Structure 1
Amino acid sequence: MADPASAQGVITGFHGKLPTAGDFVTRGLPTGLAAFWDGWAARHLARRTGWPYGGLRLRLVSGGRVAAGVAVPGTDRVGRRFPLAAFVIAPKLPAPEGLTDWCDAAGALLVTAGQGAMTPDDLLDQLEALPPPTGDGQGATMQLWQAGGPPMDCDPADCEPVLKSLFSCSESSNP
């Protein structure tokens, strides 16, 4: 029997660094999104400190699909840092306000995995078990926000002003 989420065209996965893995790990994501995220996170997030409480949340529209995600600080087995991010991808997803429950749950799983409590496959299984968000929101190509905060539109190629405000307002490096 087909998974109801995949029957609706919903994909869930993650990319980043986990202490249970020796280097980058990706599960469940299309190659194009994983490559985009890897490059974008390397340029804009990898060296940041003072992460927003609850992780950095995002919504990205591209190629007729919508991806929503949450990113937290990550490290691999030897302590090299790189964000760990979970994504849900679908033909339609709600506006940021409708993504709160999914981002909260996925963020909590990322934090647990980041503490070494899950293998990559365990993390994927847990993320895929989350109910996918439903709805059809509108918005800019990319929106970034922190838990409880308003979404901010940004150009993926020039997002520094938005990121600077999100990271400078944060109170915790431990989402």
Structure 2
Amino acid sequence: MSGAAGAQTLPGWYGKLPFLGDFAGRRLPPSFVSTWDDWLQSVIYGGRSLLGEEWLTRYLNSPIWHFCLAPGVCGNNAWFGLLMSSVDRANRHFPFTLAHGVARESLTDLAMSSITRWLGALEHEAVAMLDLEGSVQALEDRLASFAPPAGLDDTRPRVADNLSHYFDRPLLVASSEVPALLAALANESTRGAGAAVSLWWSTADDQGRGALVWACQGLPSAEGYTTMLSGG
């Protein structure tokens, strides 16, 4: 993404991977990392309390969730990315995040279908990053081929009516519907309508035709996160 979308040319990352001894990250600002880390620490603690011994099994088998965070959720930018359950070299469990920031004024110009395809491709790379033989340099080398799409949307993208149907629980939709939901979030964010919202989706079948989608104000609660671990 170019121009007002920011100078970041590769996705940033944060969290744990099997070849890391502890937390690590690149290219994500403190305003994002601080909020994101506090949220994850809180929902992991809350999820363990809610699920007890079941928590680890659900965590390890959780789907990878893609997200779009409206401006105001984690700093002034919007964020597109994915969240994947992971673990470090010492067997301490904590998710791995890939994310890319976009300025509020650039949101409605983005080709949302390109964003969803990019995140889908990035998901395959994220799974490969769980390789125990990896290294930070190998991770950076892989990401070098995954700069976010630079094209702007010159067409009139379809925009979903609203996101209210997706607030109660994850709903199964056709994957082709996700760009329209992202366009709705972008429009609402640009107008400054309502509280800052996050939209989450995960692939619901092997062919990638279906997606589980849900939305919430801010970031998910501990109860919401445990629902995400179960795939909705």
Shorter-chain TM-score bucket reads: 0.7 to 0.9
2:163 matched to 1:154?
A: no
Q: Which has the higher contact order (CA 8 A, sep 6+)?
A: 1
User: How far apart, in 2, do the equivalents of 1:57 and 1:20 lie?
Assistant: 23
Identity fraction in percent: 26
SS at match of 1:23: coil
Aligned-pair Cα RMSD in Å:
3.0
Which protein shows a greater Rg? 2
Q: Deviations over 1:39-92 (max 9, x none)?
A: 11222257552312xx01111122442111111111111111100010111223
Structure 2 residues without counterparts, runs of 5 or longer:
49-54, 154-182, 186-195, 204-209
Q: Deviations over 1:78-112 (max 9, x none)?
A: 11110001011122355865532222222222211
2:142 matched to 1:126?
A: yes
Ranges of 4+ aligned residues in structure 1 off by more than 4 Å = 4-8, 45-48, 93-98
Structure-2 change in CA distance of 1:28 and 1:95 (3 Å): same
State the partner residue of 1:58: 67
Task: Letter of the 1:105 partner, please give it.
Answer: A
User: How far apart, in 2, do the equivalents of 1:161 and 1:95 lie?
Assistant: 32
2:94 matched to 1:82?
A: yes
Task: Letter of the 1:143 partner, please give it.
Answer: L
Aligned residues: 165
State the partner residue of 2:33: 34
Structure 1 residues without counterparts, runs of 5 or longer:
171-175
Higher strand share: 1
- Out of 55, 67, 71, the position equivalent to 2:83 is 71
User: How far apart, in 2, do the equivalents of 1:103 and 1:154 lie?
Assistant: 20
Structure-2 change in CA distance of 1:141 and 1:96 (3 Å): farther
Per-residue deviation, 1:145: 1.5
SS at match of 2:115: helix
